[in-house]
Amino acid sequence: MKSKILLFSVIIFQIISFTSCTKGVQNSSDIDSLLSFSLNFEPFKNEGLNKEDINISIDPADSTKVSVVLAYRKRELITKLVPTVQFIGKKITPSPDTITDFSKPVDFTITPEKGEAKTYTVTVSLSEPSSENKILSFKFEAAKNTGLSEDILGIINPADSTKISVVLPSDKESLISSLIPTIEFVGETIDPLSGVAQNFTTPVNYVVTPEKGEAKTYAVTVSIPQLELEISSVKFEKSKNLTNDNISEFYEKLFITKTPSRAKGKDIAEGDTTNGYPAEFTIQTTDIVENNIYVKLPYNSQHQPLTADATVIVTLGFKTAVDGVSSVLGDSDTSKTAITGNTADISFQISKDVFTKENLSVPATTVPTPIKQVIKFSKEGFADKVYTMHFKFSDEKSTECTIGEEDFKFTVDQTTGINTVTNLTPTGSGTPAPAAPAAGAIVKAHYITSSSDEKGTEANPFEFQLRKSPSDTSNPPGELKADGVDASAYFKADALILPDGAYIEVGNTACTTPDRSGATVCCDVNPITGNSSSSTDGQQLKGASGQAKVEYKFTVVAQDGTSKKYYKLTINADAPTASASASASAPVAAPAAAPAAAPAAVPVVASPSPSVTPPTG
């Protein structure tokens, strides 16, 4: 505490004049009549009292009047002070060796060996209470803090003196939880006390209470030098995330599934005929939140786990160039990588046992997410900067589950025995005349327009047809050869286009006996793969004996995993007639530029024991 330098003791002498050093005392006096009186209050006799708490003075007009001013903050001591008195004389009363109540003036009488006694009156008063309350200095002294090699001084904010900051060397960060401050302040009390260890991992408030007036709070923040590193961009590049000549499993899962599936070759660009994957997957800047990076994969209700642990390379961009920085994955010193410049490639592993649908589906409020990678950036003399990369599904989920009227398509193949030229060579009238399609040509299934508003329900599914061609040229052609195909004719709707993220779902019911329309009904065949619930030979989407009509029923489920519509493909549907030719679709065509509008999704209707075929890309 701070106060004026105080007069600590006073000595009062009664002097009888001497005419010389060798002669006796004049005026009939001698040494026995000499008196003296000194007074002070020593801290070792007065617990809680400091030298600066006492100010002693004598009245210049009357040397027997002694005034003592006690600091207001020590006012409770006024009734229990123990003075130290030195005097010349025979005796003094009362005895100064006991506790004395100085709340009222106290008279001390000195009696000489001869002559008259003299009384000295000591009056103790309190100083005026002060309204000052401020911290003058704040520091951590090396002598009081094991581990510090030098004193660390706090900085009082010149714009706001209630804010005090202390910067600790980065190699002393472990001491921050127990530091002993030395505080110099003006005021009656401070809480917490100076000299008492505190945990400074968060700011500590010190309250200085004045002798009068309101208390003031000072916030002390202890930190270490911060590394000025900020990630401004995050992306995964196709060329860096490969398995041999194809994209990696992990890179594939960064993008929404498409049907037909995309080509996985490293050199196939997005938009090519075979439609490759994009060159990069970039994180939105809004998904970099403070020190957290959220990698939001497109939602996939049919997500399949990785078949093996994945090596991932992420490219980080920095707001400003860095130098002398190292990156470390988590706490692994073996993963240290030197970084210089504006970008850095960081390689890490993702476990196949962790990269699951359940872990990717955690709510947005879950922190930390189950799938994460901690990246720590270090530089000598600075605190580590730590970023955490979280992997989760995006909350955006499409409800689109409509097959466009021009999108149920088959690619003609001359080699595999599926979608053969023979089976897809139409006959009938037309200009130019129907002809055998070339390999790679696209055949579109015919869409049946319905007047029903309930189209797409389980009871009334949308219908596409592969129609027989007529045996003569008086009627328009269908999509199939004349008179239809038998059970040895196999098909795959390998060019069928689904909305992004949508997939085919089939039941477990195999083909049943002909219904009232005379068609055999199959509910367990996926029209894209040609597989059924009991066979994966790719030959289950086929014609029927005697070129009979056969219906294949299936469901298209949207990306959200719940919205769905019901469909059927009829093979060997009746050949078109001349009256219907005006509205008939051309059986052979290039892929449509865009799907036509279709009715909205219908409410979900549960199917008995459905089996689900995941999307292939």
- 1 in a structural domain: no
Confidence band (pLDDT; 50, 70, 90) for 398? very high
Q: What is the 3-state secondary structure (H, E, C) of 260-309?
A: CCCCCECCCCCCCCCCCCCCEEECCHHHEECCEEEEEECCCCCCCCCCCC
Considering the domain architecture, whether residues 372 and 235 belong to the same structural domain is answered as yes
Considering the domain architecture, whether residues 287 and 340 belong to the same structural domain is answered as yes
Neighbour tally for 267: CB within 10 Å: 10
- Residue 358: per-residue pLDDT: 95
Confidence band (pLDDT; 50, 70, 90) for 608? very low
Q: Which stretch of 57-71, 265-279, 533-547, 576-590 has the lowest confidence by average pLDDT?
A: 576-590
Q: Using the predicted structure, report yes or no on whether residue 237 has a pLDDT greater than 90.
A: yes
- 86 in a structural domain: yes
Q: Using the predicted structure, report yes or no on whether residue 103 has a pLDDT greater than 70.
A: yes
Question: 113 near 88, Cβ under 8 Å?
Answer: no
Dump pLDDT digits (tens) for 347-381: 999 999 999 999 999 886 777 789 999 999 999 88
Considering the domain architecture, whether residues 78 and 173 belong to the same structural domain is answered as no
Considering the domain architecture, whether residues 215 and 242 belong to the same structural domain is answered as no
Q: How far is CA 592 from the centre of its chain?
A: 44
- Residue 514: per-residue pLDDT: 66
- 2 in a structural domain: no
* Domain count along the chain: 4
d(CA 167, CA 220): 11
- 3 in a structural domain: no
What proportion of the chain, given as a percentage, has pLDDT over 90? 72
Q: What is the mean pLDDT of the chain?
A: 87
Name the residue with tokens 């260890």: 197
- Residue 273: per-residue pLDDT: 78
Q: Which stretch of 136-145, 206-215, 323-332 has the lowest confidence by average pLDDT?
A: 323-332
Considering the domain architecture, whether residues 491 and 586 belong to the same structural domain is answered as yes
- 599 in a structural domain: yes
Considering the domain architecture, whether residues 173 and 258 belong to the same structural domain is answered as no
> What pTM was computed for the model?
0.68
**For residue 440, what are the contacts with CB-CB under 8 A and spacing of at least 6?**
411, 412
Domain boundary, last residue among 188, 223, 258: 223
Considering the domain architecture, whether residues 550 and 408 belong to the same structural domain is answered as yes
Considering the domain architecture, whether residues 301 and 377 belong to the same structural domain is answered as yes
Considering the domain architecture, whether residues 235 and 370 belong to the same structural domain is answered as yes
d(CA 183, CA 162): 14
- Tokens found for residue 349: 């592993």
Q: Using the predicted structure, report yes or no on whether residue 388 has a pLDDT greater than 50.
A: yes
d(CA 336, CA 357): 31
Dump pLDDT digits (tens) for 560-571: 999 999 999 999
Dump pLDDT digits (tens) for 521-541: 999 999 999 999 999 999 999
Rg of the chain (C-alpha set): 48
- 264 in a structural domain: yes
Considering the domain architecture, whether residues 205 and 263 belong to the same structural domain is answered as no
- Residue 295: per-residue pLDDT: 97
Question: 200 near 165, Cβ under 8 Å?
Answer: no
Considering the domain architecture, whether residues 530 and 571 belong to the same structural domain is answered as yes
Dump pLDDT digits (tens) for 167-206: 999 889 999 999 999 999 999 999 999 999 999 999 999 9
Domain boundary, last residue among 126, 155, 177: 126
Dump pLDDT digits (tens) for 498-507: 999 999 999 9
d(CA 162, CA 342): 39
d(CA 572, CA 549): 5
Q: Using the predicted structure, report yes or no on whether residue 578 has a pLDDT greater than 80.
A: no
Q: What's 23's domain CATH number?
A: 2.60.40.2340
Confidence band (pLDDT; 50, 70, 90) for 274? confident
Name the residue with tokens 């993008």: 255
Owning domain of residue 287: 231-393
Confidence band (pLDDT; 50, 70, 90) for 580? low
Query: Between 587 and 228, where is the model more confident?
Result: 228
Q: Using the predicted structure, report yes or no on whether residue 36 has a pLDDT greater than 80.
A: no
Domain boundary, last residue among 163, 192, 223: 223
Mean pLDDT confidence for 464-471 = 94
- 79 in a structural domain: yes
- Tokens found for residue 385: 């900067």
- Tokens found for residue 215: 């208390």
Phi, psi of 546 (to 5 degrees): 70, 20
- Residue 617: per-residue pLDDT: 40
Q: Using the predicted structure, report yes or no on whether residue 581 has a pLDDT greater than 60.
A: no
- Residue 603: per-residue pLDDT: 36
- 21 in a structural domain: yes
Considering the domain architecture, whether residues 477 and 585 belong to the same structural domain is answered as yes
- Tokens found for residue 432: 């130019």
